[in-house]
């Protein structure tokens, strides 16, 4: 009996061990199965996540590439100037039509240029090709507020120049040309800089002398719609000479006649851009009045060369800068119509109030003292 019991217990123990071993193997197998299953899910998930990250990052990568490209952007060629010859130059209104061409010239000549603009009529895109260049700085600033920087020369161009623009907000035009000019003369006095004022043929008003030379005092209606600009520029000139006499500030005054060229705003409102746009769009060319009033147009590159020559000359009295080739506005409309090959007709609209009837610069002074004259037709 004892032997039987012993045999049963031995068999039971074996079976028990076998059962335990089987259970252990089953357990290990199930754990392994779960583990490998989880791994495949995890790997699959990881690939998916990686894909998603890739998708999300792709546009960022592109932006970084663009940024890297912009850092290595090629600028127009710039001359090297020694420390002695390199000037720190401020251009107010430097993002405008004339200002941006002046910026190009001075940058390419190797100077350090700071452009100040409030972007009322100026546009960032006019100077964007210089952004990031070590010699260039762009400041969003209104000259009606004082400015504190260190410069050697100031080209003070800030002001709307097209009649519809300057008449749009006459008080602002007056503030820009009066307070703005006072601020820039104050800056010139503080830092010992030379200031060139971009004055205008409009100081001659509707002239009784033809062609207009610098000794002519002008014929301006002080209370007419153009007065905010005409009188604003006249008093700006007065301020320049007051600062010259009283404070010893070195001033230059350029009386700029009608100018055209690239970067004129499509909606500038002046005759050149109006006629070209109208002719291209097949719309009527709008002639104000009879079209017998005259103007003479200079190309912007000629003007820029004249401004730089004047700034670096010893001529402190006003100098006319313009092209003396005079045309009636009607002739000009017909010329643009035929150059564009447009079928537009000419539409006569009421005459603009106080519109100068004849304008043509006498440029003998610029020729004699600066050796300057326009070269473009």
Q: Which of 177, 181, 201, 309 binds ligand UDX (CB under 6 A)?
A: 201
Separation of alpha carbons 181 and 31, rounded Å: 86
Binding window for ligand UDX (CB under 6 A); candidates: 40-48, 108-116, 136-144, 287-295: 287-295
- Establish if 323 lies at the interface with ligand UDX (CB under 6 A): no
Whose tokens are 């990250």? That residue is 53
Cis peptide bond prior to 313, omega within 30° of 0: no
Quick one: which H or E segment has residue 97? helix 97-108
Q: Which of 203, 256, 296, 340 binds ligand UDX (CB under 6 A)?
A: 256
Contact 274, 264 (CB under 8 A): no
CB of 83 to ligand UDX, least distance (A): 36
Q: Does 295 bind ligand UDX (CB under 6 A)?
A: yes
Q: Which of 258, 305, 323, 344 binds ligand UDX (CB under 6 A)?
A: 258
| Selected range binding ligand UDX among 56-64, 114-122, 268-276, 307-315, rule: CB under 6 A | 268-276
**Position among 124, 288, 315, 316 found at the interface with ligand UDX (CB under 6 A):** 288
Which 3 state secondary structure label does DSSP give 1? coil
Name the residue nearer to ligand UDX (CB basis): 168 or 288.
Answer: 288
Regarding 161 and contact with ligand UDX (CB under 6 A), the answer is: yes
Which residues have CB under 8 Å from 241's CB, separation 6+?
251
Q: Of 154 and 256, which has the nearer Cβ to ligand UDX?
A: 256
CB of 163 to ligand UDX, least distance (A): 5
C-alpha 46/C-alpha 41 separation (Å) is: 8
Give 186's DSSP letter: H
Q: Which of 229, 241, 299, 345 is catalytic?
A: 229
Smallest distance from the beta carbon of 192 to ligand UDX, in angstroms? 29
Residue from the set 114, 135, 173, 200 that interacts with ligand UDX by CB under 6 A: 200
Site size toward ligand UDX, by CB under 6 A: 18
Q: Helix (H) and strand (E) counts for the chain? A: 9, 13
CB of 352 to ligand UDX, least distance (A): 4
229 has catalytic annotation: yes
How far is 238 from 78, CA to CA, in rounded Å? 36
Decide: helix, strand or coil at residue 159: coil
Nearest-approach distance from CB 313 to ligand UDX, in angstroms: 21
Residue 248's contacts (CB-CB under 8 Å, 6 or more residues apart) are none
Among residues 75 and 348, whose Cβ is nearest to ligand UDX? 348
Would you say 359 and 329 are in contact if contact means Cβ atoms under 8 Å apart?
A: no
Distance CA 339, CA 361 (A): 25
**Residue 126 makes contact with ligand UDX by CB under 6 A:** no
C-alpha distance from residue 220 to each of 202, 203, 215, 247, 355 (Å): 8, 7, 15, 29, 10
Which is closer to ligand UDX, CB of 293 or CB of 342?
Answer: 293
Least Å distance between CB 319 and ligand UDX? 14
114 vs 176, beta carbon nearer ligand UDX? 176
Q: Based on CB atoms, which residue is closest to ligand UDX, 130 or 257?
A: 257
- Residue of 274, 298, 323, 342 that binds ligand UDX (CB under 6 A): 274
* Whether the Cβ atoms of residue 250 and residue 194 lie closer than 8 Å to each other: yes
Q: How many residues does the chain have?
A: 377
Tell me which of 158, 184, 264, 287 binds ligand UDX, using CB under 6 A.
287
271 belongs to the binding site for ligand UDX (CB under 6 A): yes
- Judged by CB, which is closer to ligand UDX: 131, or 272? 272
Long-range Cβ contacts of 241-246 (<8 Å, 24+ apart): 243/185, 243/188, 243/189, 244/316
With b for 16 or more beta-carbon neighbours within 10 A and e for fewer, the 308-341 pattern comes to bbbbeeebeebbbbbbbebebbbebbbebbeebe
Task: State the catalytic residues.
Answer: 229
Q: Could you list the residues that contact ligand UDX (CB under 6 A)?
A: 161, 163, 200-202, 256, 258, 270-271, 274, 286-288, 293, 295, 329, 352, 355
């Amino acid at each position: 009996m004892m032997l039987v019991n012993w045999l049963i217990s031995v068999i039971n123990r074996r079976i028990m061990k076998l059962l335990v071993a089987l259970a252990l193997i089953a357990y290990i197998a199930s754990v392994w199965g779960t583990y490998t299953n989880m791994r495949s899910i995890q790997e699959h998930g990881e690939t998916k996540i990686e894909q998603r990250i890739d998708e999300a990052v792709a546009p960022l990568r592109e932006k970084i590439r663009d940024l890297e490209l912009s850092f290595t952007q090629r600028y127009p060629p710039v001359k090297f100037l020694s420390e002695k010859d390199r000037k720190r130059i401020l251009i107010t209104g430097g993002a405008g039509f004339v200002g941006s061409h002046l910026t190009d010239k001075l940058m390419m000549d190797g100077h350090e240029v700071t452009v100040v603009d409030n972007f009322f009529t100026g546009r960032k895109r006019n100077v964007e090709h210089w952004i990031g260049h070590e010699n260039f700085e762009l400041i969003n600033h209104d000259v009606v507020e004082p400015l504190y920087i260190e410069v050697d020369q100031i080209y003070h161009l800030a002001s709307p120049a097209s009649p519809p623009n300057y008449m749009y907000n006459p008080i602002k035009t007056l503030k820009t040309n009066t307070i703005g000019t006072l601020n820039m003369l104050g800056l010139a006095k503080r830092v010992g800089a030379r200031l060139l004022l971009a004055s205008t043929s409009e100081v001659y008003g509707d002239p009784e002398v033809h062609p207009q030379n610098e000794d002519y005092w002008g014929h301006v209606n002080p209370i007419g719609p153009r007065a905010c600009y005409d009188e604003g520029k006249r008093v700006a000139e007065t301020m320049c000479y007051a600062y010259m006499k009283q404070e010893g500030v070195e001033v230059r005054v350029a009386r700029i006649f009608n100018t055209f060229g690239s970067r004129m705003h499509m909606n500038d409102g002046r005759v050149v851009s109006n006629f070209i746009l109208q002719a291209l769009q097949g719309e009527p060319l709008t002639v104000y009045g009879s079209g017998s009033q005259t103007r003479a147009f200079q190309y912007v590159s000629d003007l820029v060369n004249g401004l730089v020559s004047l700034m670096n000359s010893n001529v402190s009295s006003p100098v006319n800068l313009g092209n003396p080739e005079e045309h009636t506005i009607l002739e000009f409309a017909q010329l643009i119509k035929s150059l564009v090959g447009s079928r537009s007709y000419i539409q006569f609209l009421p005459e603009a109030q106080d519109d100068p009837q004849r304008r043509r610069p006498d440029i003998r002074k610029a020729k004699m003292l600066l050796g300057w004259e326009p070269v473009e037709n």
